[in-house]
Each structure stands twice: as structure tokens, then as C-alpha cells.
Structure 1
Amino acid sequence: MSPNIEQVVNKTRLRLIPFMLMLYILAFLDRANIGFAKDSYQLATGLGDGAFALGAGIFFVAYAFLGVPANLLMRKFGARSWIGGTTLVWGLLSASMGYADTEWKFLLVRSLLGAAEAGFFPGMIYLTSQWFPQKSRAGIMGLFYMGAPLALTLGSPLSGALLEMHGFMGHPGWYWMFIIEGCLALAAGIATFCYLDNSPSEARFLSAEERELLSKTLEIEESTKSTSKISDAIRNWTVWHLAIIYMVIQISVYGLVFYLPSQVAALMGTNVGFTASLVTAIPWVAALFGTYYIPRYSDKTGERRNIAAMTLLLAGLGIGVSAFASPVAAIIALCFAAAGFIAVQPVFWTMPTGLLSGTALAAGIGFTNMFGAFGGFLAPNIKAQADIFFGNHLAGLLTLAVITVFGSVFIMMLPQKKAPKAVYSEA
């Protein structure tokens, strides 16, 4: 019996998404684990709050500018070599953070880590567009995006436990956290060379008929898009609009990610350790549910813009309420915030991938991701400077909340365009 496209998509999803998810968990953990080490790392190295904010954000400088060329290089050399090599390099650099015991070493390693990771995330988004039809893409990317909350759900207790290895073999706990989590990425990079296929036409896990059906389906979709050159992406004002929205989303994400462990510990009246890290994981568990259900609902209804806007608004309101609420209510508000700013992203990425094709798509994803990286750089600095300017430790959170709410308004300014409705198989 001839295969149908739903069966092939499900088979491809089962093959690719768990592996892509594992890589994203490691990538997000390696860029965000500095938030868990913040207090003990600053105490051991004498790093000030301003220098920490700069180092947390400087990751995104090289990351921003290298996203477009990295995606074009992946298109040229293939996903297996590019993603595998990228993962090996960032794992090595993440582990080397264990030796970054001065301010200049901290800033240098964070900069290099950003450059190494520049090709990974936009490459994953581009890879998704090359393997899955448009009508199922939000749900597929929702599964991939579960890597961020999973990294912080599983990574919170892991990082907290590793921090409590303080003194083992004469090294502080943050040393072991960086070394062990970096080595996990090194192992994943080696596995990528064995596991990943470059394209549907080379897929070893599909039969010849399945490869042909999936490739033909994707080719027909691509032929309906009019933008296929790099210049088409740069000249398209909708791409610029989307890029600005994505920057705002990332300001929301990283404004909270880098400070959530210390914020939760302050609410509990304790230091960042295993117990506080377990509570820190609660908002990311909520984000897992949001990231699974909201994109799937978007696929089933074909609605993108309104769902994205309401989801981001939910995040902004959650951040704002967490600044004033009691400890229990603040944790609940942070659950809504985390669910909102993580779940909005897979819905968001259906917009540029539905607009562009070919090299324009590779460049457009890199370009949009570049603006998002600027958001990651700005986020900790906006929070730190707002706290200083207003002389209140709540000012930074409230500033992030206002920016996030404005982001939902920017989404509503996009033209309304529905996608075909997806029908999910339980296979």
C-alpha cells in the first residue's frame, strides 16, 4: 500500500524531533546555566552586577551577526556536518567556562560561546522547514521548542545539584556545573554525525516511496512562494516587522531566564541551591504544557497572528504581576509568563517560514534570529539599568513586562493570514 503524507510526517517527526529536542536542551542549558551559577560565581571571581549583565548579554553579539552566514553555510555543507561540528565547538567552549575565573576570561568565553552557537538555533528552524509541511509546522516546532522549558525543568535540579559539589577535588561547584554540562554537549556533537540526515531525499529511515512523497510535497509548497533570493528577504518589510517582534520576545525570555533562579531564591529567603532550583523548575513545567498545546491549537485552527499576540500578552502580564505578588502568587504568575514567552515562539516561526523559500528563507531566518539575539543582549542590561535608574529592584521586571505587552501589539499590526488546518494523527 502506498504511503500517505500524514504517515510520512509522523514517521519523520518520531525520528527527528526527539534528537533535535535533546540538542536544544543542551544548547539552552549551556547558554543559560550562568543564571544558576550567578551568586556563587560572582562571589568567587569578584564579578560585579554590571559585568555579569554584560557577560550574560555579550553571548548574543557574535551570535547575532553570524546567524545569517551560518545558515547559508549549513545550506551549502549539509545539516549533519554543520550541526555536528557546531555542537562539538560550543560544548568545548561551555566546558571552558569552568576556567573563566576573571572578568576578561568570562567576557571572552561568553563571546566565543555565542559565536559557536550562532549556527545552531537558526539552523534548527531552517532544518524544520526543510523536513515538515507548512500546515503541521507550528505543532512540530512546538515539540522542538519544548527543549527550552525542558532544559530549565531538568537543568534546574541538575545545575543546583552540581553547584553543591563545591569543594570536590578542590574546585567550586560552578566549575563542575560548566565542565559536566559542556561534556554532555560534546557527546551529543559526536552522535549527530552518526544520526542526522541532510535532507528528505537522503533520509535513511524512510523508504524510497516515502522519500519521494515527502520531497515532492515540500517542493510543491516551495513553488508557491515568490521570495527565493537573499535580497528578497532583506527588502521585505514584513521580514523587518517580524524581526523586531522576535527581538521583543527574546527580551522577555532572557530578561527572566538569567535572573529567575536568584529571583525565586529571594522569594524563598534562601540561596540558589538544589531546593531553590526545584521551585525554579515549576514555571518551566507550566511552559511545557503551553508549548505543547498552544502551537497544536494554532495548527488545528490555522490561526497564527491572534494566538501569538494573546500568548505574548499573557507573558507580559505574568512578568508584571510577579513583581508585586506574594511568593506563592508570584510563582503562579511566573508560570503564566514562562508558558507565554516560550509557547509564542513556535507559532511565531510559522510566519517567516510560510513567507520565504530557498536561500531567502535561510537568510530570513538568520536575519530574524539576529534581531532576537540583540534582544538577548539587551535583556539583562535593560533589567540591570532599570533597577539602577529607578533605585528599585522591581523596576527591571516591570520594564520587561511593559516591553513584552508592546510586543503583543506589534504582532496585531501584522496582516492577518491563516494557514491550512492540520489534522494530527495519533500514530
Structure 2
Amino acid sequence: MISPQQTLRRIAWRLMPFLFALYIFAYLDRVNVGYAALAIQRELHFSNTVYGTGAGLFFLSYALFEVPSNMVLLRVGPRRWISLLMVVWGAISCMMPLVHTPAAFYTLRFLLGAAEAGFFPGIVLYLTYWFPQAQRARAIAGFMSAATLSGVVGAPFSAVLLRLDGVFGVSGWKWLFVGEGLPSILFGAIAFFVLLDSPAAAAWLPADEREWLLATLAAENLHPGRRSHLRDAFRNSVIWQLAFIYFAISAGLYSLSMWLPVLLKRISHGSDLRVVTLTAVPYIFAAIAMLAIARSSDLRQERRRHLAAALVFATLAFALSGLFTQHVIATILLFVAVISIWGCLGPFWAVPTSILQGDAAAGGIALINSVGALGGFCGPYLMGIVSDRTHSFYGALLVSAGLLLMAAVVAVRLPADACSS
């Protein structure tokens, strides 16, 4: 007698730790420029506008290359494509110490975005090959919680690398990029030998469990309400609503990811290393929130209210954080913003994976992430340009709050049948 829970537990223990590790380094290579921001701006004399533009440019190329990258993954398989992407972006990260001008900074950030573009949507698609709809929010949230752990581990790790400042005459921020780029190259090589393209090739899964999983996924893919062609994703109004929601989420999320050390420095006036280490704190609670909200969403088979509630909390935290001059209150509100905005991602990503399959799933997931990537550009860019012109970050925080509030309204109005399994 097959136990579905036992089968899925076996799959989770086999796949998730490795995918978790991959995403830690993917996310760290994406946002470590935030940890290096204070040192880069000081040494290279970059203004907030230059830094914000470079930080955000990653997401323009990320948006441009996501859909094509996911379509390539469908053709060549996850194993080959994901391992190649990791090696390439790790190498680009290791080239960051060569930056001396804004043009070089912009170029490498753009190339890094192009290389990373296919990773996240590719893994979300990959998880649909292994987990049925009812367990998908928890699987996705478990994978995405690696990004929050990246903040927990990455902040002190980055602080250690920054302490190498002056070793062999090399600046600490340069050690940071090399030290965090090399693991991506290593794990990319390992991924080629560890990842499987489908459950059919999983020799470690007993034959009866493998057959049950393949039959279950095949039955879900035959559901008449699910779309399977790429054009269906672009014609689906729910996908475009989700794309707007993710635009707002990404604008807020990456505003904080790229600027949190700078914001905390301005609030607390602490040392660079103390500030970088402090940024780890909210990500501990964000990981807990992600898993708890995703579990609740899966158990209740409900997505809209879970998503909207987290967005409302994030809206309030963004809007209020700039009103308080007392650094403890302002810091707590920024931490609440981080926790809330990460907490919504499990139920959010469970929606498109439940209504699309095949080419439509690959294209739809990448489309949503591409539009979200534009938010990832706008958020950090606005933080830089607004702070340079007004000498305050509050205006940019209010823009993010407004976007998140609109996203909460759209989330509540999503069709009920698209938000339940």
C-alpha cells in the first residue's frame, strides 16, 4: 500500500536540501552588492543614484531573459541548463573586483542578471515535476526560504569577508564577491551530476511510488481547467494580475535587500560590519513566517487571504518606517517589512503552478517573474535617485507601500477557482 505522504517526504528529503543550497548562493550573488554597498560607494565614489542604477540593472536583463531561458530549460533539461547557469553567474560574480567605473559596474550587473534569469523560474517549474498541487505551496516556500537563510548566513559571512580588507592589498568588498562567487561555480558543477530531469529517472524512488507520482501528476495535467500551451499563459488574465502583484512584491523586496544596510547605517550610525551583521536578524523570522504561512495555505487550500494579509502588513511597515526618528522603532518596522513581504511568497507561487502546465507553466512562471524583475529594477533605482534628490529615503518607501497596497487589493479580487486546489 503506497503512502503518498511517505513518498512525498522521501522526495522532499532527497531534493530540497540540495535545491535549498543552490538558491542560497544564487540569491547571495544577486544581493551581495548590498553588503558591499557602503565600501563600494566609499572607495569608488559612486553616488546613491549610480549604486541604485547598478543594483537595479540586474533585473532588467533578468526580465529580458527569463522566458527564453525557461523555454531552453524545457528543451535541454533542468540538469544541464541549471548547472550551466550557475557556473556562468559564479564566474561573473568573481569578475566584480575588476570594477572601477560606473560603466563596468552596470555591465557586470546586467550580465549577472542575464545569467541568473533562468534559475528561479526554472526551479519553480522543476518542483512541479515532483510535487502535486496540494503540496506545492510548502515545496515552493521551502525552496524560497533559502533566500531568507541566505540573508541569515550571508550577512555574517559577508562581514567576515569584508574583514579581509587589505589582505594582499585587496579591498574587503573584492574578497566578498570572489568568496561568494566561487561556491556557485562549485555547486553548478555538482548540480550536473545530482539533478534528475524527471521522476521517471529517479532510481532511488521505489517503482510503485514512482508510478504513483507519475500517474498523479499526469492526472492533474489532464485537468480541463489547466492550460498547456505557451500562448495560453499570455492570454490568461489571472497571470497578468499575478504579474502585477509580483511587480509590487519585487519592488519592495529588493528595495530592502539592496538598501537595508544603508538604511540601518543611517538609522543607527553603527559601524559597517555591525550594520551588515544586523541585517541577518529579520531573515531568521522571515524564514519562519514563509514556512508557517505556506503550511496554513496548503492545509486550508486557500491562497488569496494569506497573500493579501501579508501584503497589508508589509504596506503598513513600509509606510510607517520613515515616520519614526527613534532608531529602535524604525529598525523594527523595517524588519517587519522584510518578514511580511517574504511571508507572502509561498501562497503566491502556488497559484500559477496550479492553473498552468507544460509550455504554459514554463512561460507563465517566467512571465510573472520577468514582470516582477522590472519591479526589482524600479525599487532599488528609486531608492537611489529619490535619496540623492531629497536627502531622504521616505519618498521611495512610500512608493513601495502604495504598490503593495494595490497588490493586496488585486490579490483579494483574484478568481476563487484559481486560488484553491
If the length of structure 2 is used for normalisation, what is the TM-score?
A: 0.96
SS of equivalent to 2:63: helix
Cα pair 1:91 1:182 within 8 Å, conserved? yes
Q: For residues 270-323 of structure 1, what are the alpha-carbon distances to aligned partners after superposition, in whole Å with 9 as ceiling and x for unaligned? A: 2321x2222211111110110110100000111101110011111121222222
> Aligned AA for 1:88?
V
User: How far, CA to CA, are the matches of 2:130 and 2:236 in structure 1?
Assistant: 24
SS of equivalent to 1:259: helix
Q: Does 1:99 align with 2:101?
A: no
Cα pair 1:146 1:288 within 8 Å, conserved? yes
SS of equivalent to 1:258: helix
Per-residue deviation at 1:340? 1.2
Q: Does 1:400 align with 2:394?
A: no
CA 1:391–1:155: 2 relative to 1, 3 Å: closer
Count of matched residue pairs: 418
Per-residue deviation at 1:383? 2.2
> Percent of aligned pairs with the same residue?
35
User: How far, CA to CA, are the matches of 2:348 and 2:118 in structure 1?
Assistant: 20
User: How far, CA to CA, are the matches of 1:211 and 1:73 in structure 2?
Assistant: 26
User: How far, CA to CA, are the matches of 1:331 and 1:143 in structure 2?
Assistant: 27
Q: For residues 149-170 of structure 1, what are the alpha-carbon distances to aligned partners after superposition, in whole Å with 9 as ceiling and x for unaligned? A: 1011110111112112110001
Question: Partner of 1:331 in structure 2?
Answer: 331
Question: Partner of 1:47 in structure 2?
Answer: 46
SS of equivalent to 1:131: coil
Question: Partner of 1:201 in structure 2?
Answer: 200
> Aligned AA for 2:297?
S
Cα pair 2:49 2:388 within 8 Å, conserved? no
Q: For residues 329-380 of structure 1, what are the alpha-carbon distances to aligned partners after superposition, in whole Å with 9 as ceiling and x for unaligned? A: 2232223211211121121011111111111111111111110110111111
Question: Partner of 1:419 in structure 2?
Answer: 420
Cα pair 1:148 1:342 within 8 Å, conserved? no
Cα pair 1:45 1:102 within 8 Å, conserved? yes
> Aligned AA for 1:210?
E
Cα pair 1:299 1:419 within 8 Å, conserved? no
Question: Partner of 1:259 in structure 2?
Answer: 259
Question: Partner of 1:241 in structure 2?
Answer: 241
SS of equivalent to 2:231: helix
Cα pair 1:383 1:399 within 8 Å, conserved? no
Question: Partner of 1:364 in structure 2?
Answer: 364
Q: Does 1:343 align with 2:343?
A: yes
Q: For residues 363-401 of structure 1, what are the alpha-carbon distances to aligned partners after superposition, in whole Å with 9 as ceiling and x for unaligned? A: 111111110110111111222333355553322222222
Q: For residues 212-262 of structure 1, what are the alpha-carbon distances to aligned partners after superposition, in whole Å with 9 as ceiling and x for unaligned? A: 111111111111044111111111111111111111110010011110011
Question: Partner of 2:122 in structure 1?
Answer: 123
Cα pair 1:310 1:408 within 8 Å, conserved? yes
Question: Partner of 1:423 in structure 2?
Answer: none
> Aligned AA for 2:88?
V
Question: Partner of 1:425 in structure 2?
Answer: none
Per-residue deviation at 1:211? 1.4
Contiguous gaps of at least 5 residues in structure 2: none
Question: Partner of 1:315 in structure 2?
Answer: 314
Q: For residues 104-126 of structure 1, what are the alpha-carbon distances to aligned partners after superposition, in whole Å with 9 as ceiling and x for unaligned? A: 11111111100100110110110
Contiguous gaps of at least 5 residues in structure 1: 421-427
Cα pair 1:312 1:408 within 8 Å, conserved? yes
Instruction: Calculate the aligned-residue CA RMSD, in Å.
Output: 1.4
Cα pair 1:88 1:186 within 8 Å, conserved? yes
User: How far, CA to CA, are the matches of 1:204 and 1:330 in structure 2?
Assistant: 52
User: How far, CA to CA, are the matches of 1:375 and 1:270 in structure 2?
Assistant: 30
> Aligned AA for 2:99?
A
Task: Map 1:46-65 to 2 at 5 A.
Answer: 46-65=45-64
SS of equivalent to 2:214: helix
Question: Partner of 1:228 in structure 2?
Answer: 228
Q: For residues 14-56 of structure 1, what are the alpha-carbon distances to aligned partners after superposition, in whole Å with 9 as ceiling and x for unaligned? A: 1111111111110111010001111111221222221111110
Between 237-246 and 323-332, report the one with greater CA deviation.
323-332
User: How far, CA to CA, are the matches of 1:101 and 1:24 in structure 2?
Assistant: 29
> Aligned AA for 1:237?
S
Per-residue deviation at 1:65? 1.3
Question: Partner of 1:170 in structure 2?
Answer: 169
CA 1:58–1:183: 2 relative to 1, 3 Å: same
User: How far, CA to CA, are the matches of 1:258 and 1:177 in structure 2?
Assistant: 15
If the length of structure 1 is used for normalisation, what is the TM-score?
A: 0.95
Question: Partner of 2:268 in structure 1?
Answer: 268
Q: For residues 76-132 of structure 1, what are the alpha-carbon distances to aligned partners after superposition, in whole Å with 9 as ceiling and x for unaligned? A: 111111111111111111111122222111111111100100110110110111110
> Aligned AA for 2:290?
T
User: How far, CA to CA, are the matches of 2:393 and 2:333 in structure 1?
Assistant: 18
Q: Which runs of 4+ in 1 moved over 4 A?
A: 388-391
Q: Does 1:289 align with 2:271?
A: no
User: How far, CA to CA, are the matches of 2:111 and 2:298 in structure 1?
Assistant: 37
Per-residue deviation at 1:144? 0.8
> Aligned AA for 2:175?
W
